[in-house]
A and B are shown apart, each in its own frame.
Chain A
Amino acid sequence: MGTTITIDEVVGRTKLLPLLSQSSLRLMDIIRDDRHTVADIIRIVSLDAPLTARLLMVVNAPAFSQSGRVNSLSRAVAVLGEKVVTGIALAICAPFIYENDLAGYAGERGMLWKHSMRAAIAAREVSRYGTREISPDVTFTSGILHDIGKAVISEYLSDRTSLLLEEVDEQKAMDFLDAERQTLGFDHAMLGEAVARHWQLPEPYPQVVRFHHEPMLAPEVWRHEVFCAHLGDLIAMMGGTGTGADTLLYRLDEHFEEFFRLPEYWLEGILLAVSEEYEKTVAAFYGK
């Protein structure tokens, strides 16, 4: 690509992306409210026929091996858990994001959703250790959303993947995010925030998406949630579920210890717990 493109032009294009379904937006909105009930979730999903059908398919996959076939939505939501339901809702209503092949990252179709699901589970696990109360539902959804900008930036990185890797390998860039900025003038977190604003996602999601690699720059009020996504993202990559060439090429913000009370061997425990739940969820999502 020989032409230069500005972030304003790319952000302008994000405004042409399809909007999220009402059910997805409602789900994300409602799970932020601690007073919500499972009945609220079921009510929203029941109005979305494609989502209902997909949930029933997933819950009846062998990975969720129930004693009998699940035919009711209420049972499906109970088995899967409302957070997984929200994750599936997003994957279904935004295939242009989650099924993007991420060519600019030398990634493959489906990698973004898998990475996002693993990061979501990890972020939720990390949230248990917050120095203040952190909503596990919000952190799970934050994990699902944190990398949406990669689906948009990917096409502008095509043919430049090797160049970006070289910049990081030769320490001309601090990490892959910095390499994106040096090459294009913007990065996937910036574009992700533009998508989140276009989708009219409620706070803290735009902040999480924007600052998940630089959590100390996030508004103080949301810093715990942003750190959960930051750590969830890195833990997913450590577990081998990245989005392609950039996997592992991001820096840890070592201020994280100020926001969590972490026991000994917390990371090993989280890697183990995440691995077990992730494998089951992904196998079910793909009908295995």
Chain B
Amino acid sequence: MKVTVLGVGELGVDDTPGAVIKTFALGSCVAVMVYDLKLKVAGMVHVALPDSSIKPARAASLPGYFADTGVATLFRLMARFRSGMSGTRGLTVKLAGGASIMATHAGFNIGKRNTEAALSHLSALGLTPMSMQVGGSISRTVSIEVDTGRIVLSSPGRSDSVI
């Protein structure tokens, strides 16, 4: 089975039957996952920060690092796998991650800001996530199956879950 592991800021799209795209230990990062059920194409981006304006050079070399450039690049890459279809028709989106440490200090809630930024950029594309598992103080590992779009989340010491 082909398993593509994405590091922080990486993104991937795959239509290989049986393949899986996976990313480890999201922490405050957010994984945006997109799936085309009809064409069996799955995509994922591992977003670390909300906005690329903090370091455009990083965004140029690793667009997936930021929610704004990451979401845009993921959908551009999806379009290539969908015969150039640039619209979002037939796509479902799910989100995971965006956790935080145990704090009330707003400045520390990067996870929440990552989630909000991802939702905002998806909304601009006319998309609302079908389901999400975000927030809390849980570091999540997440994978998406190309054949089904099934998304499995796991965390050390806890039972796996599916969204």
Show the binding face of A for B, using Cβ within 8 Å.
105-107, 161-162, 165, 175, 234, 237-242, 244-245, 247-252, 254, 265, 267-269, 271-272, 275-276, 279
Query: Do B54 and A242 have beta carbons less than 8 Å apart?
Result: no
Query: Do B100 and A265 have beta carbons less than 8 Å apart?
Result: no
Show the binding face of B for A, using Cβ within 8 Å.
7-9, 24-29, 48-50, 54-55, 58, 65, 99-105, 107-108, 110-111, 137-139, 155-158
Query: Do B108 and A247 have beta carbons less than 8 Å apart?
Result: no
CB of B98, distance to nearest CB on chain A (Å): 11
Q: List 30 A-B contacts (CB under 8 A).
A: A105-B157, A107-B156, A161-B156, A162-B157, A162-B158, A165-B157, A234-B103, A237-B101, A237-B139, A238-B27, A238-B100, A238-B110, A239-B29, A240-B8, A240-B25, A240-B27, A241-B25, A241-B27, A242-B27, A242-B139, A245-B156, A247-B156, A248-B100, A248-B102, A248-B137, A248-B138, A251-B101, A252-B101, A268-B49, A272-B65
CB of B61, distance to nearest CB on chain A (Å): 10
Chain B residue nearest to A236 (CB atoms) is B27
> Could you tell me the distance between the alpha carbons of A269 and B50 in the complex, rounded to whole angstroms?
12
| Contact A271/B48 with A238-B101, A249-B102 known, Cβ cut-off 8 Å | yes
Q: In the complex, which residues of chain B have a beta carbon less than 8 angstroms from the beta carbon of A107?
A: 156
CB of B136, distance to nearest CB on chain A (Å): 8
Chain A residue nearest to B107 (CB atoms) is A267
Chain A residue nearest to B155 (CB atoms) is A245
> Could you tell me the distance between the alpha carbons of A234 and B102 in the complex, rounded to whole angstroms?
10
Counted as pairs of residues, one from A and one from B, with CB atoms less than 8 Å apart, the total is 101
Sorted nearest first, the 10 A-B pairs with minimum C-beta distance are: A245-B157, A252-B103, A240-B27, A240-B25, A106-B156, A106-B157, A248-B137, A247-B139, A238-B28, A244-B156
| Contact A165/B24 with A248-B100, A272-B58 known, Cβ cut-off 8 Å | no
Q: In the complex, which residues of chain B have a beta carbon less than 8 angstroms from the beta carbon of A234?
A: 101, 103, 108
Q: In the complex, which residues of chain A have a beta carbon less than 8 angstroms from the beta carbon of B100?
A: 238, 248
> Could you tell me the distance between the alpha carbons of A252 and B50 in the complex, rounded to whole angstroms?
21
| Contact A161/B157 with A238-B28, A240-B27, A248-B27 known, Cβ cut-off 8 Å | yes
Q: In the complex, which residues of chain B have a beta carbon less than 8 angstroms from the beta carbon of A238?
A: 27-28, 100-101, 108, 110-111
Query: Do B27 and A249 have beta carbons less than 8 Å apart?
Result: no
Query: Do B157 and A251 have beta carbons less than 8 Å apart?
Result: no
| Contact A269/B54 with A241-B25, A248-B100, A251-B103 known, Cβ cut-off 8 Å | yes
Query: Do B104 and A254 have beta carbons less than 8 Å apart?
Result: yes
> Could you tell me the distance between the alpha carbons of A105 and B155 in the complex, rounded to whole angstroms?
11
Q: Indicate the member of B25, B27, B28, B110 with the most A CB atoms within 10 Å.
A: B27
> Could you tell me the distance between the alpha carbons of A267 and B54 in the complex, rounded to whole angstroms?
11
Contact of B49 among A106, A248, A254, A272 (CB under 8 A): A272
